[in-house]
Chains A and B, each alone.
Chain A
Amino acid sequence: DQQVKQNSPSLSVQEGRISILNCDYTNSMFDYFLWYKKYPAEGPTFLISISSIKDKNEDGRFTVFLNKSAKHLSLHIVPSQPGDSAVYFCAASKRNTPLVFGKGTRLSVIA
């Protein structure tokens, strides 16, 4: 049973436009959420996170929104750049338990 779901396996966006990646979770005990980016042949790298006490966290071009009632979070990238093309993983956790990852969404930013 998947606790963290990324229902879109891929997404294509034009350079300069907004990319919106979505993630749903089922476990209401999760209290911390993270987004990771992964390039081929590299390990995932941390992008941005949000605590369950917040509903928005922004870092430059990246913003994560959390809707606890809907158990949904999203990552907005604006403006999208070709270098943003990668696989994006959503992850969720609670203290002292393993991070649970979604299956990832492959983002392609087209110049």
Chain B
Amino acid sequence: GAGVSQSPSNKVTEKGKDVELRCDPISGHTALYWYRQSLGQGLEFLIYFQGNSAPDKSGLPSDRFSAERTGGSVSTLTIQRTQQEDSAVYLCASVRGAENTEAFFGQGTRLTVV
């Protein structure tokens, strides 16, 4: 497709379970971000992939969070042993290059941990 695609759009999981969130960036874009937005909060940076460089993981809130980007394209964000405070909208964005110009966001995955 033409835009950034995220799946699933909604996910309800039980506390303690693992979840995987998927992001399909725009073809040819070399940079990919994961952000999350908790209720009433701004966009919290999680992780940043740029080309073949080592990802910037400085925003991951705990070691329960991990992400990978296979083949420089699709990315998966994994949250292990989910907690209620992980409930948020998880947003993926892709950028054409290193210049940090326009980042295109997906529609997000709303994660609810019950």
Contacts and interface: CB of A to CB of B under 8 A. Distances in A.
Interface in B34-86: 35, 41-43, 45, 48, 50, 53, 56, 58-59
B43 to A, nearest CB: 4
A97 B100 contact: yes
A99 B91 contact: no
B4 to A, nearest CB: 7
Interface stretch (A14-22, A57-65, A68-76, A100-108): A100-108
B100 A104 contact: no
B37 to A, nearest CB: 9
A98 B45 contact: yes
A101 B35 contact: yes
B106 interface: yes
B102 to A, nearest CB: 4
Contact of B56 (A44, A45, A46, A98): A98
Contacts of A95: 98-100
A89 interface: yes
B100 A94 contact: yes
A49 B42 CA distance: 19
A58 to B, nearest CB: 17
Contacts of B91: 43-44
A19 to B, nearest CB: 19
A96 B98 contact: yes
B25 interface: no
Contacts of B93: 43-44, 99
Interface of B: 4, 33, 35, 41-43, 45, 48, 50, 53, 56, 58-59, 91, 93, 98-108
17 contacts: A32-B99, A32-B100, A36-B105, A43-B107, A44-B43, A44-B93, A45-B105, A89-B43, A95-B99, A95-B100, A96-B98, A97-B48, A97-B100, A98-B33, A100-B45, A101-B42, A102-B42
